[in-house]
Amino acid sequence: GLTYTYKIRQDAKWYTSEGEEYAPVKAQDFVTGLKYATDKKSQALYLVQDSIKGLDAYAKGENKDFSQVGIKALDDQTVQYTLNKPESFWNSKTTMGVLAPVNEEFLNSKGDDFAKATDPSSILYNGPYLLKSLVAKSSVEFAKNPNYWDKDNVHVDKIKLSFWDGQDTSKPAENFKDGSLTAARLYPTNASFAELEKTMKDNIVYTQQDSTTYLVGTNIDRQSYKYTSKTSDEQKTSTKKALLNKDFR
């Protein structure tokens, strides 16, 4: 179908970074969130721009009335989406950040300071954890939200993600062994991996293997190329021949 209607938990609340209750989570927050993402030209907007009715026209400025977009707050606990065409995977899209709710009152109170990456107090929280600290190229720290509706099933009180520059692939394992980390990624290409497999075999978890397909499209008839390219005519001709060569492709 084209219409998806969702009910919001009545015990879902917004909290500050200090864990203080701010307001209930309402359907209008989802409308505000999508409008904010669109107005701010979120780089993730493409995930839903062609899905939600009227969103593409609003994003392109062809229609300036967001009420014409296919997202409605029917009441405080009911939000409804209208799509352009059926999408069997739509429910999974609702978990993406571009459709996350935003409390309008809090948004307006913060202005340009809303959602500053290194300032935990610049956003509200409605999940099991609160952001306590974010230091660029250092660490990100979370603490359990003591007022979360399902707090009894949240069994980890604190989480710290430590920055690693990716240079020394043996460092994560070393930090795991000395207790600095409770989880670390291992690299089979690292010279010490064979030894780690023996000494840490009871701690190693192998992730599921998967595959990915990529598509690269090349526009070989771009007219502006004639005027903007810094290559010579000879180089352009050689490039075109290479792209049209089936053996090369």
- Identify the residue whose tokens are 């899905």: 51
* pLDDT given for residue 44 in this prediction: 95
Token pair, residue 151, equals: 């707090």
Query: Is residue 163 scored above 70 in pLDDT?
Result: yes
Residue 215 resides in a domain: no
Q: How far apart are CA 226 and CA 223, in angstroms?
A: 6
Residue 128 resides in a domain: no
Residue 70 resides in a domain: yes
Nearest to 161 by CA among 145, 184, 190: 184
Q: How far apart are CA 207 and CA 185, in angstroms?
A: 10
Residue 90 resides in a domain: yes
Residue 15 resides in a domain: yes
Extract the runs of DSSP E, i.e. beta strands, from the chain.
Answer: 3-7, 13-15, 21-24, 71-75, 78-82, 129-135, 139-144, 158-162
Residue partners of 51: CB distance under 8 A and separation at least 6: 83, 84, 87, 90, 93
- Identify the residue whose tokens are 């690292």: 190
Q: How far apart are CA 129 and CA 19, in angstroms?
A: 9
* pLDDT given for residue 240 in this prediction: 80
Which DSSP string do the residues of 41-55 spell out, in sequence order? T-TTTHHHHTTBTTH
* pLDDT given for residue 225 in this prediction: 59
Query: Is residue 158 scored above 70 in pLDDT?
Result: yes
Q: How many residues can be counted in the chain? A: 249
Nearest to 102 by CA among 20, 46, 51, 39: 39
Beta-bridge partners for 143: 130, 158
Query: 56 lies in which domain range?
Result: 3-114
pLDDT digit string, tens, across residues 24-64? 999 999 999 999 999 999 999 999 999 999 999 999 999 99
Domain CATH number, residue 57: 3.90.76.10
Residue 173 resides in a domain: no
Among 23-32, 133-142, 181-190, 218-227, which stretch is predicted with the lowest mean pLDDT? 218-227
Residue 242 resides in a domain: no
- Report how many domains make up the chain: 1
pTM listed for this prediction:
0.78
Residue 68 resides in a domain: yes
Residue that wins the pLDDT comparison between 150 and 188: 150
pLDDT digit string, tens, across residues 193-228? 888 888 888 889 888 888 888 888 776 666 665 666
DSSP secondary structure code for residue 117 in this structure: T
Contact 60, 68 (CB under 8 A): no
Q: Mean pLDDT across the stretch 130-154?
A: 96
